[in-house]
Structures are given as structure tokens and as C-alpha cells.
Structure 1
């Protein structure tokens, strides 16, 4: 999410820079042409160079001010015409031809400025709605949820949308801290709607159901009721309920990684592969996937991600991002700072992908941390 905010900040800085320039750039161009024309003398007609002023105004000021620059440039050319020796009829014909071409350029510049303003307003409105939808749908968790610290980066491949088909949630429940990460098949609005179904069902079941497998079955049932036939969601459920371990439940998602304090990485493959959510009817029997428990000591980091991470290709050689090879040293170098760790991994991912991603990405790091012991005030001294 920090990448989204960084992009918005850069856009805001760019807009403020152009706003500060305002009319100074187009007016300066008019002034330079006028000075050059006066220095060149009456035998040189340089005022047609003022034609650069309206296009410059179109990218720096509003369409009304662009129109003002266009009119001002035309008046300046008319005022300098006698100085440049435009007095007889043939010269007037040349001047009127140039003035007509200048007027066309000015009108087109006004149109460009108007389109730029309209597009900027529309983009701002879309971005605001997308940001509100992202917060309502994803509800970014705090850096610490119960006895678990976490850091996450969520980036949509569609910049303006900010939300897509990848999803995650981390909740503190009476049954422990429960986490979900998933990837919806497809993109666009249907994928966002499916994400809403999955997250809504998980948030309800995570508090109501005692077993992680029961939570997953309730989510799978909701997907079967509310999601179109043929659509599916790869998912991974995690439950932190016992110190020193984590319970995992796998629905065809990317296998999680465990990074030890010294940077050693282990891929936590499920004991039995299972179909994604929404495809349970294709699997014979009603048993469902088997949850398994793996050790996760304090200081170990559980790395969850969507396939947008491991399928990010290098533009140089077309290789996929080797998360299992890179994540260990990157996380270990950040020490206990999970935010720094996820920043390092995401920056390395972007470098591998050439600076842009073609798919939605969720990168979620979790580590158990015991709750701090309560501090009690000292007992009052006994009376003498």
C-alpha cells in the first residue's frame, strides 16, 4: 500500500509544481520572443515564435488561462507588426495567414487544457472511490494483531483501481489470530465482487467457528452460493492459537515460506494438495483438505504471497521471481523490523520485474510475538 501512497504523493508534487509555474512559463516565452524580435531589428519578423506559448499554457494552467495566453499572444503580434514593417497589403496577407494559424493552435491548446482538467477531475474522483472501496473491503490491519506482528504490501496491477482480485485479512478472534490470503481467478469488477464474498464470509466464520477447517468450509459454501459457476479462489488459511506453532490450511494457493532468524528458508508444502475454493464439487468425497501444524518460533517469519509475486517475470531473461531464494537474506537483514523487511522484498521484486507488475500482488509477513507482561504498580509500603 505504501507504493500506492508514494505514487499519489509524486502525482501531487508534480501537480503542485505545475501549479506554481502557472502563467510564468508561457508568459516568459512570449517575453523572450518579443525581446528577440526587438533586438533582431525591423528586417526580421520573429513574432510567429509566440506560437509556443499556448501549448505551454495548456500543460500548466486552466483552459481559461490558456485562452488568455492565446489572446495575449495574438495582440502582441499585432502590436509588433508595424515595428516589423508590415504595412502594405501583401504583408498584411502574410500576417493574417500567420495569425489564423496561431488562432487554430490556440484553440486546440484550449481544448487540450480543458480535456486535461476534465480527465484530472475524473481520475481524482475514481481514485477517491477506489481508495474508499479498498479500505472498506480490505480493512488494513494494525501492525500488531493479538500476539502476531505483521507487515503487508498490496498493489493492484490497475493503478487507478487500487483493488483487484487478490485478498487478505488478519483477525484476532476468540480462537486465536486467524489469517487468510487468496487470489481470485480473473480481474476487474467481477474479481472484486468475489473478493468481497470471500472476505465477508471469512470475517463472520472466523469468530463463530471453532476449527480452521470449519471456517474454510463456510467460506467455500458462501463461494458456491454467491460466485458464478466456474470461478474459483486459491486460498491459504492460517491460525495462531498455540505458542511456537501455526496451523495452516491449503486450498490450492502458493505455498507459504518460513524464514528463520538466520535467514534460512523452508517451503511449507501441504501434506495433500487440494482444489481452490469454489471447485469442491470436482473433488470426490466430503473430507476436505487436511490442516497441518508447523513450528513457528518467536523471531521466525511466515511469508505469504499471491501468485503475482512468484510469477513476476524479468524483462531481461523472462525468468520468474525466485522468492524462496531471495526472501531469506532480505528478511534477515531487516532484523525485527517487519515493515523494512517487506519493503526490501517488494523493492527487490520490482527490480526483478523491471519496475512494473502485470498482476495484483499481496505480500504478507507474519511473526509471533508474545504479549508483553502487564506492569503492576509496586505495593504500597506497610505502615510502621
Structure 2
């Protein structure tokens, strides 16, 4: 605080010096007065803005002891109750949350059963996995390294009704292809709206990346049936790196940029004539655009694999078990390299779900 006071005093002294110099250099009294007023107003507005920032920081620091731990849950519950009323009135005061829960009830049990089925066929930690066949006969995708059993991570769902409902319903919320809107977001997640939008974007990015990797794999296999698995994986690894860089730096990148990344990566599979390069570009563009259509069989298969990947982590936690499920689901479409991105994104959903269950649990129970 003392340092900030010194900084403000120095700024004030500098302003006075500038005003004095301006008055001496300018013989026109009116002009000098206008300049002085403008500089004075600018200084005042800047200082007010800085004070607002300092007040906000001080308030956050003051509230930190209150919003941590069990006291934080109680504080958030009281704030939520003050705005939306008690759990007994939830059906009237939380219409979007009610609709969200009602729509999810019919699928929660089915998703949970599928999840348990996936767990039952998980390979043992040290069991070597065969190459995984992708969408057509030919080369498979080598498996990614299986995490060690000691890997730590966020907690799994044990099957408790509300926890299971919130986790599965959150997954349904972000897996929609239409962009999440605040008005269609359950009231209990309004404070986390931007986080959920970001996860939805990551969900869709994984679909695009997995589809691009799969399409390039199939195009190269159709061009040259003798291409080796090692050559294919070299190309796919290069494409993976290029897509990560592209989408991390330019989230709004379109098909043209993705096709360029695919073409660049495919160059490591061997040199071609200009005519064949152009033909490859046309095929990649056509197949990629088709494969990203919602009614296309490739899109359905890839998006389902990505959904299962997120579900595995959201329900099994982000430790070894969840990572294995993520890897297994993505290998079905030859995209095991994306497992790490999925785990990171799914961890956000786990955190949001577990905190929301603690804070909004009474309202969820009233609506469920």
C-alpha cells in the first residue's frame, strides 16, 4: 500500500510539473486552460480506475478466508439461496436446471452402465495391446503408453445418485454441437459459464483433430497400400504437433488451415509430383469436409469415441483408470495422442461437478 501511495504521489507531482510547463510555454490563456483541464481529467480518471482495481483486489483478499473450505460452501449456498430461494421452490425458481436434470435422467443410467462395461474390459496394467483397427481394414494405430497404476488425479464417481447425475449431465451439456448460451445454461452453472464454454470448445477441437488424423491416415493408405505403420505414425505425429500449435494459437482456424497442416505433414511420407500433390489436396479437402458433417458416418463414429473418452475421465477421475479409458476410446479412431488433451479438459468438468454438488446438492435433490 505504501508503495502504491508513493507511485500515486509521483504521478501527481509529474502532472503538476507538466501543467506548469504547459502554462509557461503557451501564451494563449484559453488554450493553456483547456490543455490543463484535459490533462487533469485524464489523470483523475486513470487514478479512479487504478483505485477500483486496488479495491477489488482488497475485497478478494478479504473474502478468501470466507470462501475456502466448508465455510466457502456455506457462503456460496447462502448466496445461491438468497437469489433463487430455498430448495423447496427449486422447480419454480430454477426452470433451466429443472429442464436440464429432467432431460438427463433418462440417459444417466444408460451412460453409467456403458461406463461400467468399459471398465470391465480394461486391460491389465502390463498387458500388451494389439494394433487397433480404425475405420477400414488396413494398418492399425499403435497404442499409447498406459499410465502407471500409481498416477494421481481428481476423484472418480462412486455411483452416488446426485454425483452421477451432475457429472453425466454436465458432459451432455458440453457435448452439444451448438455453442452453449448463458440462457440455456442451468442457473447453478452461471458462474462457470465461461469455463464450460471453453471445455465445449476443447471437446469440439478434439473431434476435429481426431477426424483430421483419421482422414490423413486413410488417404495415405489408399494412395500406397505398402506404407508401413512406422511411416504412418511419423506422419500422424507430425500432424498432431501441427494441429496442436495451430489450434492453440488460432482457435478459430478453419478448414483451409487444417488442410494445409495435413498436406505439410503428409510430405514426410515421400515426395510426389505437383499433379499428385494437387490430387491429394483435393481428396483430403473433400473427405475432411464430408467427415465433419453431423450426419456423416465418420463424424458419428469419431464424436462418439470422443464422448466416451470424456465420459471415461469424468466418471473414473483423471488418475490411471480414467487415463486408460481415455486412451482405449481414442485408439478406436487412431487418435490416442489426444488423450492428454481430453484428460486436461475433463478435469475442469470434474472440478465444476464436485463443487456444484456440494453447493447446489439440496436443490438438485429437490429436482431429481
Question: Structure 1 or 2: larger helix share?
Answer: 2
State the structure with more CA Rg: 1
Question: Structure 1 or 2: larger strand share?
Answer: 1
Q: TM-score, normalising length from structure 2?
A: 0.32
